Homo-oligomer: A and B are copies of this chain.
């Protein structure tokens, strides 16, 4: 039996079912390269010492260590931050496990994608897609956030922007993200990410973080730390407008 378990975006979000599995299985693996894993909570409930896996273990080696455990007839769990499937590439692992004849249970966790809407009282019904703000790779900036937000603004839809994780595991700060977006505006010049574009910043959810609604020109000077996500709202309805005011700066 192979469990793939999300324990939420930060302390306090682990679910009853996740706890039950951590107390039951003989092998526990975790990864923290797709999100900010709450390792203290994981250790508090784990029946055995959790083993950290790197991206190469899961992708290049197709989760070999997990399958070694399963082959011995033991139960194994792979633990991730947030929801285990939404922002990760673990779907291939599930397909592989099923092809090898193992039962698989996915244990959904609180995802930052849904929780960011919940924390900012914006309507997820108007989510028009998700993109990631990335550091330039080899000097090249991804224009995907610019194009998606541009389309969604025209359609009155909100856009969720995830922020990059550096190769050394550091989460992009809201300031760095604002800087990337302003740089994109400097190149594209279609008025999407001007300094007065107001965005919602949900930072460090579950880790004593905050929700803020402020212009990019202010966020680029802020000291907030990651992990964080941005929501670029469009076409606010009266309830959203009233509620979001309470986070405004």
Contact B91 A240 (CB under 8 A): yes
Contact B118 A239 (CB under 8 A): no
- Can you show 17 pairs from A to B with CB atoms below 8 A apart? A11-B16, A14-B15, A15-B15, A85-B119, A85-B121, A86-B117, A86-B124, A91-B121, A91-B239, A95-B243, A95-B246, A106-B121, A108-B114, A125-B130, A126-B129, A127-B127, A127-B130
- Interface positions, chain A 1-20, Cβ under 8 Å from B, are 6, 8, 11-17, 20
Q: How many copies does the complex hold?
A: 2
Query: Once the chains are docked, how many angstroms separate the CA of A17 from the CA of B127?
Result: 27
Top 4 nearest A-B pairs (CB, nearest first) are A12-B17, A108-B115, A114-B114, A85-B118
Category for how many chain A residues contact B: 35 or more
Q: Provide the residues of chain B in CB contact with A243, threshold 8 Å.
A: 91-92, 94-95
Where the two chains meet, the residues of A that have a C-beta atom closer than 8 Å to any C-beta of B are: 6, 8, 11-17, 20, 41, 83-86, 89, 91-92, 94-95, 98, 106, 108-111, 113-115, 117-119, 121, 124-131, 157, 205-206, 239-240, 242-243, 246
Q: Provide the residues of chain B in CB contact with A16, threshold 8 Å.
A: 11-14, 41
Contact A110 B113 (CB under 8 A): no
Once A119-B106, A125-B130 are accepted as A-B contacts, the answer to whether A15 and B8 lie under 8 Å apart by CB is: yes
Q: Provide the residues of chain B in CB contact with A95, threshold 8 Å.
A: 239, 242-243, 246
Q: Provide the residues of chain B in CB contact with A124, threshold 8 Å.
A: 86, 111, 113, 130
Query: Once the chains are docked, how many angstroms separate the CA of A17 from the CA of B245?
Result: 26
Q: Provide the residues of chain B in CB contact with A126, threshold 8 Å.
A: 129
Query: Once the chains are docked, how many angstroms separate the CA of A86 from the CA of B95?
Result: 30
Q: CB-nearest residue of chain B relative to A6?
A: B118
Q: CB-nearest residue of chain B relative to A98?
A: B246
